[in-house]
Each structure stands twice: as structure tokens, then as C-alpha cells.
Amino acid sequence: MEPTIELQGLVKTYPGGPHGPVRAVRGIDLSIARGETVALLGPNGAGKSTTIDMMLGLSRPDSGTVSVFGRSPREAVDAGAVGAMLQTGELIRDLSVRELIALVGSLYQRSMPLDEVIGLAGLSNVADRRTQKLSGGQAQRARFAIALVPDPELLVLDEPTVAMDAQGRRDFWLAMREYAARGRTVLFATHYLEEADANADRAVLMASGEIVADGPTTEIKARVGTRTIRVTLPLATAEELEALPGVGSTERHGEAVTLRCADSDAALRALLERYPAARDIEVVGAGLEEAFLELTADIADGSSSETRMGATR
């Protein structure tokens, strides 16, 4: 099947940061099929937004090619095939929500009916309000509506839930899934692993301008190691601890030991059985930031994640 997005050898370097040129994207190949819902994951500065900008034709790659529905991003945008919600952006003032959506709709040859957009984005109760009077979450939904206006084949969302509260997020993802269920392709960037897990079929992990993992979300989750056990334990050696079931890697600072576990339940049972002296036990979910550091380290220097984790602390 013809891919929706095809990125080949994409490179983008920005001149003049405080530490010299910033290599924001360092060679990305990515192909997204029609109908997929893909999460682009990564910590801040991973290159997600730069990649999205190039997909949308907002910035030109230094090298490599971008093809959207077999065309240039500009042509795809002009044809109304792409809708996007950028990471930053405020709404223009002195128009009502309805007028704003009508304004954007008037720019396209063909657009979704006004009331359908308003309903889909959950803006019915604020449709006649001026844009400058919307709350943060409502403004985000209005920006979502703008992305939906051309009824695009490809919907791109760059960190769409940033200003939303918990309820707002839930509603937003519901609306997004409803749209994806129409057979549309959706690509969204986020740094929340849970959002990717709940809403995407496939996750693409970026770190330091490269793709470090790409696959079904279930697979990625297994890779990043789910939990961390912290424990005060003077005697055990790293080798002994790593031999415990469910433990991935370990790290020791004096008497304090940190165990990164694929299966923290099994690890905890074994730990208590083998070392009754273990105390001050804490089990925490692995932060995504940590998981990324781990995955990046694997790619960047080929050494074990353990040494890299120790070094970055």
C-alpha cells in the first residue's frame, strides 16, 4: 500500500546555539502507512518538532526527502490532505470560535461541515465565544478543530494535550480515536508514554535526533523496563542482584541499590526471600525520561545501559 508519509535520510542542523550548531535531526528514515495511528515519542529536544516541521513543509531539510501521499508537503497541504496542530500557537483574537473555524474552512476547496468540526472537537458549548475568552483547554480544542477543518487524510498533532486537565485529555483522546476510526492516518508527538500506549498502534521513539526504537507500543513498553526498586542493602554484589528474576540492571551508591526491573513483582519476591536484611524498599514506575536515556545510550555509544546511566547521574 502507498505510504502516507515517507521520510528518507532526513537531516536538519540549526546554526548557532550556545554550544555551536544544533544537530536537531540526524538522519531519519520513516514510513507510515495509511490508517496507522503513530505516536512519536521522545524527551524534549529529541527532534520531534523539527521532524514534524519538515513533514509539514514548515522547514526545509538540509538533506533527505519528505514525501506526503507521494507529493511534496506543500502540495499535500494545498490539496487539503494534511491537518496539523502545532506545538505552540495561540488563536487570533476578535473572532468567535465558530467564525475562526469558518475562516479556516474558507481557505480550502473542500472542508468538513462547520457543525461537524465543532461537535467532533467538543466545542459546542463555546462556539459563539470570542477566542480570547477561552480557557487553556478550550483553546487547545479550538486548535484541534482547526486541524480537522479540511477533513484531512493525515492528521498531525504536536504535543496536543499540553494545556489540558485530566478530563480534557480524556475527551481529547476520545475525539482523536473517533477520527482515526474513520480510517485516517494520525501522527502525534508526546512525551507521555501512557498517551502513546493508550492511543497509538505504533510508537516511534526519538532521542538526540535519531529514531532509537520503532514498533508496536506493547513491544516498546517491554523494552523500556517498567519499574525501579530502590532498597538499602549493604552486602549483595551487583552480579548477585542482576541474577535475580525480573531484574534488568543495577546501580549502587554506598548502601543504596537501584534495580531496574522488567518484572518488579518477581524481583521483589526473590529479593526479600534471598536478602531478609533488605530495608527502606520503594517501588516506582520507571520515568520515561530514564527509559529514554537508557535506550539512547544503547544506540549512541553501544555500551551497556548501566554504565551510561551511572555516568549521567
**Under the rule (CB under 8 A), what is the footprint of other proteins?**
56-59, 77-78, 80, 82-84, 86, 88-95, 99, 102-104, 106-109, 143, 146, 150
Give the residue with the Cβ less far from other proteins, 92 or 166. 92
Q: How far is the CB of 171 from other proteins (least distance, A)?
A: 22
Q: Which is nearer to other proteins, 102 or 198 (CB)?
A: 102
* Strand boundaries in 80-238, DSSP class E: 82-85, 154-158, 185-190, 202-207, 210-216, 227-232
E-only strand ranges, 164-278:
185-190, 202-207, 210-216, 227-232, 247-253, 256-261
* Nearer CB in complex with other proteins: 22/198: 22
Pick 84 or 200: Cβ nearer other proteins: 84
DSSP three-state, residue 289: helix
Angle at CA of residue 224, ends 9 and 30, nearest 5°: 20
**Are 171 and 122 contacting, i.e. CB atoms less than 8 angstroms apart?**
yes
Distance CA 267, CA 248 (A): 10
> Considering only CA atoms, which of 59, 53, 64, 55 is closest in space to residue 26?
64
CB of 196 to other proteins, least distance (A): 23
Distance CA 137, CA 125 (A): 13
Which CB atom, from 59 or from 232, has the smaller least distance to other proteins?
A: 59
Beta strands at 185-190 and 154-158: parallel, antiparallel or unpaired? parallel
What single-letter DSSP state applies at residue 115? H
Q: CA dihedral in degrees (145, 150, 152, 155; nearest 10)?
A: -30
**Rounded least distance, CB 86 to other proteins, Å:** 6
Q: By C-beta, is 46 or 81 nearer to other proteins?
A: 81
CB 13 to other proteins: min, Å: 14
Least spacing, CB of residue 160 vs other proteins, in Å: 14
